[in-house]
Amino acid sequence: MIYQNAKGRLVWHGGADAAWDAWKSASDWRANKRTKRGASKRWARFATLTARDGNACFYCGKPVTFEDFTIEHLVSLTQGGPDHIANMAVSHARCNATAGHLSVVEKVRLAEGMKGSAQ
Ligand SMILES: [Zn+2]
């Protein structure tokens, strides 16, 4: 379990703590028992992005968990965006699907609208 405290710092609890340590020490901890190829890479990206940006969804601003996060490529790969951390943000799978292949400007507008409507 991960949450943000009042200062906006991510706090890791229980399994996530162990996972974070395992990831940092490059051991082969797995996020779940249904080990899939790429699972540790997925975890590494989630850990890196939430350490940088916090765990709020890029679109709706609500917390994203490891179970339902997707990598949002701000400039989509189909539009020539790089598959690099600088081009990535965490988002819910459903929010990412809503955004589809919008341009960056449209995505930002969508994100502002979704956050606004949630308040
Ligand atoms: Zn979302």
| SS3 state of residue 45 | helix
Whether the per-residue pLDDT at 2 is higher than 70: the answer is no
Whether the per-residue pLDDT at 26 is higher than 70: the answer is no
pLDDT digits (tens, 9 = 90+) for 90-99: 999 999 999 9
Whether the per-residue pLDDT at 43 is higher than 80: the answer is yes
Domain count, the chain: 1
Contact present, 55 and 63 (Cβ < 8 Å): yes
- Within 13 Å of residue 23, how many CA atoms lie on the same side as its CB? 19
Task: Estimate to the nearest angstrom the gap between the alpha carbon of 74 and the chain centroid.
Answer: 12
Q: What is the CATH number of the domain that holds 76?
A: 3.30.40
pLDDT digits (tens, 9 = 90+) for 62-76: 999 999 999 999 998
Q: Which of 12-21, 24-33, 82-91 has the highest mean pLDDT?
A: 82-91
Give the pLDDT score at 13: 55
Residues with a beta carbon under 5 angstroms from ion ligand 1: 57, 59-60, 92, 95
27 Cα to the center of ligand 1, angstroms: 30
112 Cα to the center of ligand 1, angstroms: 12
70 Cα to the center of ligand 1, angstroms: 10
Q: What is the mean pLDDT of residues 84-104?
A: 94
pTM: 0.65
88 Cα to the center of ligand 1, angstroms: 14
Q: What's the CA gap between 76 and 26, in Å, rounded?
A: 29
Give the pLDDT score at 62: 96
pLDDT above 70 covers what percent of the chain? 66
94 Cα to the center of ligand 1, angstroms: 7
For 87, the token pair is 């081009």
Residue 9 CB: number of other CB atoms within 10 A? 9
Residue 27: which domain range? 2-117
